[in-house]
Structure 1
Amino acid sequence: MSAQSGGPYGPPIPMPELTPDALRAAVARIAPSRIPALTQHLFEATTNAQQTQSLAPLRAFVHSWAVFVAIERHPERAARLRELEPLVDVGEDEPTEAIAEIRTIRAAAEAEAGL
């Protein structure tokens, strides 16, 4: 795991290496209820990679779960994302600002994960 931290009040866990095992361990620590989804996604990615003879499905798996971990390891950022997502899903108001903030959160998570 890389030692990226925001000081003494930084994220509760460091950013893990971008491997299925390291991502699974990180998810087990910060969002254990998501382990079944991670396991299912990994199974599907592995099956698709074998069928297509391509690493693209495994790369997509790593990307998806690395971003998830990068977001969830910062509780405030994760909470804000959970506030924004329904604003876009409901579509009652103009979601442009919410979409822009979600993109900013995801871009920061991708950068933090080294993607």
Structure 2
Amino acid sequence: MTADVPERPLIPQPPATVAALRQAVARITPSALPAFADQLDEAVDQARQEADFGPVWRFTTSWSIHVQIQRQPLVAARFRELEILAVESEDRDQRRAAVSELGRILDDACEAIGLGKR
């Protein structure tokens, strides 16, 4: 990781509303906006078909976790490194260690947004 990566969060963690999360994603990971829009459409359609709010809750929770990780440059950089290791490493122990650390990062993000551990 480079020395010019800030250690403090780029933005405050937004509330888990569609509008606030969309705004946060636009600021910190604008390339993810198409996926955000597609997943929102799917969640709303599924919620309407099932007459259940669960898909929208899962959507906002998932994107809250995304924002929690991505708003912290050092954590986001490490997360990307670990994703690559987990998929591309030929060393089984290295893959397992990467997946384990990814889990810890996700657990920390869940706790930070008030969900407790996964």
TM-score normalised to structure 2 length: 0.86
Q: Report what 1:12 is aligned to.
A: 10
- For the 8 Å contact 1:87–1:93, the answer to whether it is kept is no
Q: Report what 1:104 is aligned to.
A: 104
Q: Report what 2:4 is aligned to.
A: none
Deviation by residue 1:9-52 (Cα, 9 ceiling, x = unmatched): 52010000011111001101101111111011101000000011
Q: Report what 2:20 is aligned to.
A: 22
Q: Let me know the Cα RMSD of the aligned residues.
A: 1.1
Letter matched to residue 78 of structure 2 = R
- Unpaired runs of at least 5, structure 2: 1-6
d(CA) in 2 for partners of 1:32 and 1:83?
Answer: 20
Correspondence 1:1-115 to 2 at 5 A: 10-94=8-92, 95-115=95-115
d(CA) in 1 for partners of 2:30 and 2:85?
Answer: 26
* Matched length: 107
Deviation at 1:91, TM superposition (A): 5.0
Question: Which shows bigger deviation, 91-100 or 12-21?
Answer: 91-100
Q: 1:54 to 1:91 in 2, by over 3 A?
A: farther
Q: Which contiguous aligned blocks of 4+ residues in structure 1 show a shift greater than 2 angstroms?
A: none
Letter matched to residue 108 of structure 1 = D
TM-score normalised to structure 1 length: 0.88
Deviation at 1:54, TM superposition (A): 0.9
- Unpaired runs of at least 5, structure 1: 1-8
d(CA) in 1 for partners of 2:53 and 2:91?
Answer: 40
- For the 8 Å contact 1:67–1:110, the answer to whether it is kept is yes
Identity of aligned residues (%): 43
